Chain A
C-alpha cells in the first residue's frame, strides 16, 4: 500500500524555538495533505488542509501564523510550529490523500512534540 513518511518521530525543544515536521508521500503523488493534532485521550483534530502549490486552508481556531504549512511539491508537505510553547506539546500526524474519501487516506507515523 501507499506509504507516507513523517519525520521526526519525536522532538523535545525549548519554549520559543521553532520545529519543522516533514510529511512525504513515497510512492504516490498527493495533491492534498492533511495535518492533525491529537492531545491525550482526545480525538484527532484537523488543523489544516494543504494543497500542492496553494495556501493551506486552516480550520477555525488554528493560527496560521503559528502553524506554517508549506506544500511545495506533490510529495512533500511541511508543518512548522513557530515559537513553540508548552501548550503546543501534542501528537501531530499528517495524512496524504490518494483519492476521495477515507479509504484512500494514508497516514504518517506521527510526531510527538514536547515543549519544555
Chain B
C-alpha cells in the first residue's frame, strides 16, 4: 500500500460545479496535512493546510478524518482556472521535515 494514495482522475467537471476528492494515508501517526496545486511542468504551490477541525478558504474546503485516515478537498463554484493537479501531502515525523506526496488528482474544468 502506498503511503499516500489519490485517485489519479482526471475529473472532468463543468464550470460552476462542485467537486470533491479524497486522499488516504497509511501512517496513523501523521500530524500535518496539506493540499498543493501543481500546474503542468510547474512547481507545486501550497493551496491550504488541513486542520483537524476542518478549514475553509474561499471556495475551497479541506477536511481531515483521522479515524479513517483520509483528507478531502472540496471546490465549490469551480472556475476554469482551477484546472490543475491537486497533490495531497502528509508530513512525516522525522527530523528532516519530510513530506510524503501523493501522485495527484488531475482536475479539468470545462466551460
A contacts with B, residue count (CB < 8 A): 23
From B41, B43, B97, B102, contact of A43 by CB (8 A): B102
Q: Is B46's beta carbon under 8 Å from chain A?
A: yes
Q: Which residues of A line the B interface, CB within 8 A?
A: 6, 32, 41-46, 49, 57, 91, 93, 97, 100-103, 105, 107-110, 112
Contact between A44 and B101 (Cβ–Cβ < 8 Å)? yes
Determine whether the beta carbon of B96 is less than 8 Å from that of A102: no
Residue in A32, A44, A108 whose CB lies within 8 Å of B96: A32
Rounded to whole angstroms, the CA-CA distance of A32 and B94 in the bound complex is 14
Contact B98 A41 (CB under 8 A): no
List, in ascending order, chain B residues with CB within 8 A of A49's CB.
Answer: 96, 98
Docked CA distance A107–B99 (Å): 13
Are A43 and B87 in contact (CB-based, < 8 A)? yes
| Besides A46-B99, A49-B96, A108-B43, 9 other A-B contacts (C-beta < 8 A) | A43-B102, A43-B103, A45-B101, A46-B98, A102-B46, A107-B43, A109-B43, A110-B43, A112-B41
Q: Is the CB of A109 within 8 A of B42?
A: yes
- With a cutoff of 8 Å between Cβ atoms, the chain A residues found around residue B96 in the complex are 32, 49, 57
Q: A102 near B101 (CB under 8 angstroms)?
A: no
Across-interface contacts of A46 in B (CB, < 8 A): 98-99
- Given A43-B87, A43-B104 in contact, is the A105-B99 Cβ separation under 8 Å? yes
Q: Does chain A have a CB within 8 A of B44?
A: yes
